[in-house]
Amino acid sequence: MKIESGVCFGLLFLFFSSPILSSRGIEKARTDRLNLVTSFPRDENVFFQTTPFIALDNEKNIYALDNRQHAILKLDSDGKFVSRIGRQGQGPGELQWPAWIQVWNKHIFVADNTSISIFDLEGHFQNRFRKFHSMISMAVCEDRVFLAQPGDDNIINVYDYDGKKLFSFGNKYSVDYGIYKGWTNAAIDGYLNDGKLLYAGSRIYFITSGSSPD
């Protein structure tokens, strides 16, 4: 829902029953109404300039990455403003059109249009490394950063926290690049292999509209 100075977000619960299979076919699933639990931010002086990317830590603090503000707005579990992390720029601790965020092991990982930046949960800058391809998706687990990227032989590249490339894996869709006149190979890869990286348990999943190899 919109507010005058920015964007307001609500956390909602949706309870529904799964479709029921029977000898007569698939019955229509029953759904219940959405119930608003809470909304944030609670501070009227805090607003988002665009729909933020959201991550949570173990204390349920909210890290809202605003692409247009080039910053992370940290809110507590009640939606009250705690601190602002980052500012526009391309130096240490600065962000340039950031578009991905994940919290892992008491660190914040942010991907912008040139690099991956790492902060602690208090917003102190820890490290930054360049990425030389555009990015489709990001996931962090243990001591590794997984980036789905076009332009390489494999779709997923794996880095350590210092930016050293460790290995790559995952087959891209095979395509005749010649049919896409005026497109670069990286642009074609990004279009055809668009998807989402997810970490669960001991596995990394790359979910696309066509398949979900892991």
Q: Cis peptide leading into 41, omega within 30 of 0? A: yes
The whole-angstrom separation of Cα 170 and Cα 124 is 34
The whole-angstrom separation of Cα 12 and Cα 128 is 35
The whole-angstrom separation of Cα 108 and Cα 68 is 19
**More confident: 109 or 135:** 109
The whole-angstrom separation of Cα 185 and Cα 192 is 11
Residue 210's pLDDT is what? 56
The whole-angstrom separation of Cα 185 and Cα 199 is 28
Q: Residue 188, by phi and psi: left (phi above 0), alpha (psi -120 to 50) or beta?
A: alpha
Q: Cis peptide leading into 19, omega within 30 of 0? A: no
> In the sheet where 62-66 sits, what is the strand order?
53-56, 62-66, 71-75, 81-85
Residue 128's pLDDT is what? 96
Question: Does residue 3 surpass a pLDDT of 60?
Answer: no
Report pLDDT digits (tens) over 141-175.
989 999 998 877 888 999 999 999 999 998 888 77
CB burial class (10 A; 0-12, 13-18, 19+) of residue 61?
A: middle
The whole-angstrom separation of Cα 55 and Cα 104 is 10
Question: Does residue 63 surpass a pLDDT of 60?
Answer: yes
The whole-angstrom separation of Cα 180 and Cα 173 is 14
Report pLDDT digits (tens) over 107-125.
999 999 999 999 999 999 9
For the chain, list the domains and their CATH numbers: 1-14+36-130 (2.120.10.30), 141-214 (no CATH)
